[in-house]
Every structure is written in C-alpha cells, then in structure tokens.
Amino acid sequence: MNTEVKSLENSQVSLTVTVEGKVVQDAITQAYNEMKNEFNIQGFRKGKVPRPVIEKMYGKEVFFDSAVGILVNNTIEDAMDKENIDVAVTLRSEDIEVTEMTSEKIVYTATITVNPEVKLGEYKNLEVTVPAAEVTEEDINQAIAQEVEKNAREISVEGRTTQPQDKVTIDFEGFIDGVAFEGGAGTNHDLVLGSKSFIPGFEDQLIGKNIGDDVDVNVTFPEDYHADDLKGKPALFKVKIHAIKSRELPEVNDDFAADISEFDTLAEYKEDLKATLLKRKESERTREIESRVVEKASANATVEIPTAIIEEEVDRNIHQFGQRMQGQGLNLEQYMQFTGLDKEAFRDNFRKDAKEGVRTRLVFQAIVKAEGFEVSDEELDDEIKIIAEQYKMTVDQVKMSMGANMEELRTDLKVQKALDMLVETSTVVTE
C-alpha cells in the first residue's frame, strides 16, 4: 500500500491510497463471495455460479464497486495512521473518490478534515475574578422552599374546575382540516397547566374545566414551526380530561424539620443547611475558577474551526439530547412539535455550545502538547480503581466495560493535568 498526502485549504488534506496485486484480487474474491447469491443464471444453483461465468456475462468490473468498498474499509485507517493524520470529522462515502480501478490496481483519494492548527496565547499566570463563597439568608430560604416543593403532596381534585398549576391527565388528538396529523396524538399524558409545554394557547383553554370534559382546543401553529405542512395552520385538538391534581405544600416549622432531617428544630436544621450550602458554594467557586481560566486561555488562543467539525459536534450533542428525551418518553420530532421549532432552529440552539466546546477541546489539546503532559499506566490504573469504587465494580469489570475507550480516559487525564496547571498558576481575585 502506497500513500500520498497533500494539504488543502480549510484544514483539509487529500490522502491518496494505491493498492495493488494480491490485496486487490483478495478483495474482488471477497466481493464475489458476498454477492454470488444475487445472481440467477440458468444451469446453476443459486449461489453456485462460478466467478468466471458471472464475469463473462456481466463483465470483469461487476465486482469492482464492492471490492473498492472492502478495500477502503480495510486500508483507510492504516493509511491515516501511516501518515499521522489527525482526523477531526468522520469520513463519509462522498469523501472518497476512486481515480483508478482495475483487477490489479485500485487508487482512491480521501478528502479528510483535520484538526486545525492552534496558536496558543497566554495560558499561564492568568488573573480571574470570582465571587466569594458566601451563604445568605435568601439562599437558606430558597433551599427550604425547594425542600417544601419536594415534599409537597399531589392531591386528586374533585368538586372544582382546573386552575393554573394544576396537573391534568389528558388524551388528545390533533386535526388539520378535519384530518388527524402524524405526531399530534397522546394518551394519559400529564400536563401542568401554565408550564408552556404545548403550542401557545393550548393550556389556557384547559383552565376552568372538569374531570370527564371533552374539550375542543383551537390553536394556530407558529409560522416558524418545524413541519412545513403545519406552519401557520389552524388546528383543532380533541382533548379528554381524565384527572386533575393539585399540590399541597407542608408548613415550615419544627415538625417539618424533624420530618425531613435528623434535627428536632427548624433552627438546628437551618444551621446544618447553612454549612451544607457553604460547602456547595465553595465547590461552585472552584468550578467557576476553572471555567474562567479556561475561558481566558481559549480567548487568548487563535484558531479557525472548520464548519464540518462544529456540525459534527452539533450532531453528537443532539444525539445525547435525544437519548435524554427518550428517558422522558419523547422523541426529537415530538419535542420540536411541542416547542414549535423547525429543524434548523433546533440545530441553532446547539451550535453556540458546540463551537465553544470544540474550541476548548482544541486549545486543551494544544496545551497538553506544548507542556508535554503524559499519563502513565500506573496513573491510568489509579483512576480506574477510583471509577471501580465509585460504581461498585471490580477493576476488571471497569476495563471490560471501557474497552476501546481506555485511551479516551488517558486523554481526559492529560486534559485534567492541563486544567490543574491553569488553576495553580492563576491569580484569583474575589469580587
């Protein structure tokens, strides 16, 4: 296998790979074995047609396309490793161009987006300003209010109509011009009135209703709605109310403190809560220091990030968001319908964080390289032991579950060393 690399604009390179001889023949043979069941030729059982017969009937090139796919899959990783190409974006089929293809030789060129060069600015001895770690009376009251909310009871409501902040259990089905539309129906769906979870105007029309009511909810889809066939259109939702629940909040007193803590009085509970909040504030302050030194180091660096890298990061973040939504019983299509976002507006919501995330990652990679940070096998094993204890697993179980991601953990530890250095060399001023 011969390789040649040429630099292109916008952080791209072209990698030309030439494969000859037996490797090509083996790929064509593999392609024949994978495709032979597709040929029906009179006089031969299916899957038993000899290769020369197929090639005589359809031409020697009949297996070339499949063989190219096999060769690219078998050689591209080794070719990139050989040329030390720092791949930034997953290769797609359209990034590969075959320039020569015979039974003895195949040449293809891959256009690859690589990580751009980062010119580091000042990243040591930075000065950052952060608030002091202090706990106010308002902080304590807010924390108690959260506990009150957590300990509120949901009470089934009878004898009155729905009010704002009630939770209603509903069935619904949406219609446009009398025809039900895809994604517009749900059963036994819990909805808090006033949460603005649905299309504007939907929840308002469920206030003042009784259990068992059938309600016609008339709304108009926003002009910027993600589904073109629904944009700006009036819709009718047939809604059935099955249940109404309200929240009853406990009274804040000594009894409340005894119920939710190990203390007998509200005063004792508040003192313990203050200590807990202070510890939390100190941790938040540490994270804020880290965030601000990272932000400064990143701002001081110069790097042009290709759009392709940002868009792949957007895809990754959307995939993770979709998994979280699935845990709540929603898919991305339903989420966009409920929020009135079209696909591009939805992606825009992720783009800023994706760009900042990519920039930070590239800057840290450059700092790790500049400082020569390494992580020994012993340091890696120590981290695995910590993970094992945290998740109550054995070290072998952690290693098995991580598999090929072990090197990612090593990279994370290098980045942590860089972050520790940024913080240790910084000057922190209290606001």
18 and 91 share one domain: yes
298 and 385 share one domain: yes
Measured torsion, CA atoms of residues 5, 8, 13, 18, in degrees rounded to the nearest 10: -40
Write out pLDDT tens, residues 21-69.
999 999 999 999 999 999 988 888 888 999 999 999 999 899 999 999 9
Tally of domains in the chain? 3
298 and 424 share one domain: yes
Domain of 315, in residue numbers? 288-430
| pLDDT for 225 | 79
67 and 161 share one domain: no
Report DSSP letters for 153-188, one per residue.
Answer: EEEE--SS---TT-EEEEEEEEEETTEEEEEEEEEE
Q: Assess if residue 17 is contained within a domain.
A: yes
Arithmetic mean of pLDDT, 239-258: 95
pLDDT at residue 289 tops 80: yes
Query: Shortest CA distance to 338 belongs to which of 249, 230, 177?
Result: 230
Arithmetic mean of pLDDT, 78-94: 94
Instruction: Kindly report which listed range (10-19, 124-133, 191-200, 382-391) carries the lowest average pLDDT score.
Output: 191-200
Q: Assess if residue 119 is contained within a domain.
A: no
Mean per-residue pLDDT over the chain, rounded? 94
108 and 52 share one domain: yes
CATH number at residue 201: 3.10.50.40
100 and 231 share one domain: no
Share of the chain above pLDDT 90, in %: 87
Q: Assess if residue 274 is contained within a domain.
A: no
DSSP 8-state secondary structure symbol assigned to residue 411: H
Q: Assess if residue 127 is contained within a domain.
A: no
183 and 315 share one domain: no
Arithmetic mean of pLDDT, 405-417: 94
How sure is the predictor about 340, in pLDDT bands with cuts at 50, 70 and 90? confident
294 and 418 share one domain: yes
63 and 193 share one domain: no
424 and 297 share one domain: yes
Distance CA 148, CA 110 (A): 60
pLDDT at residue 286 tops 80: yes
Distance CA 196, CA 191 (A): 9
CATH number at residue 55: 3.30.70.1050
22 and 108 share one domain: yes
How sure is the predictor about 284, in pLDDT bands with cuts at 50, 70 and 90? very high
Query: Shortest CA distance to 422 belongs to which of 287, 299, 294, 282?
Result: 294
Q: Assess if residue 416 is contained within a domain.
A: yes
| pLDDT for 45 | 87
pLDDT at residue 230 tops 90: no
What string of H, E and C letters represents the secondary structure of 79-103?
HHHHCCCCECCCCCHHHEEEEEECC
pLDDT at residue 72 tops 80: yes
pLDDT at residue 131 tops 80: yes
Q: Assess if residue 332 is contained within a domain.
A: yes
CATH number at residue 411: 1.10.3120.10
How sure is the predictor about 227, in pLDDT bands with cuts at 50, 70 and 90? confident
Q: Which of 248, 271, 306 finishes a domain?
A: 248
